[in-house]
Structure 1
Amino acid sequence: ELQDRLGATGDFAQAYVISHEVGHHVQTLTGTLQYVDTMNKRVSQKEANELSVALELQADCYAGVWANRASQQDLILEPGDIEEGLNAASAVGDDRLQKQSQGYVVPDSFTHGTSAQRVASFRKGLESGDIFACDSSLLPPAN
């Protein structure tokens, strides 16, 4: 689906998605997911969506930190891999997905962030290689 429906080709596009999901596991370990779940019961739908976007962008940033470390350690990255990851991040932006599925975009309903936000978050982690660069004002800081 990532390749066929969203046009995110290459093996590193898949690695980006997997590392993003590992980022959610890190959020579970640090209590960030529990914090967002608790807050979602106390805030408006718009604020809950904003928290969800912050959570997703942080997971994208964590994926970028992993890519940085993999690159620096000469583990698995090949030429073009980073571009595949950036393309995948762009492909799964709320704006792009909404435009593709319904023909128009509803920003207040975003739960994962725009394509540009997702690329920027992945790039922030990639360039910094530092998990603390992924902190968000809407989420508790990483420990």
Structure 2
Amino acid sequence: MAETSWNRGGPQPPAQPTQASATQALPPRVTRSRNELEKLRDDALASQSLEPGDVRMIWVSPDGVASALEAIVHTTRWLLGEREWAPISRELYQYPDLPVPLIRTHAEDAIFGYKWADTSEWYAGGVKRTVEWATSPAEERPIFE
């Protein structure tokens, strides 16, 4: 059975959107534009209705596609200021002063089992890849266009 939640079925905090202004600055170290982040978010949302094998991601197994897509949506919404809760840690930070590199570290900690054992490695991988892409123009997009 495919994992469908970052926390493997437990309750998840409400999204609590912050309704960031389109002109508001993005978090430090984010090199992608607001439009690029929104497009990735929208592509991940649209891909959730597809069969796992039809999603344009080569880095994830079919069993992890739903969790990875959920992570991409959560992470892009967090980076855009549409979601208050940080991916994985579920901590609150003042937008746009988000600790983007720390969230990548949280994802790696979850992947390697150092912390956040309740987090799916596919969810953590989606967070990590999204943060890497958002902060580096050289990184490949988590979902291919």
Which TM-score band (shorter chain)? Answer: 0.3 to 0.5
Point out the structure with max Rg over C-alpha.
Answer: 1
TM-score of the aligned structures, taking structure 1 as reference length: 0.36
Structure with greater helix percent: 1
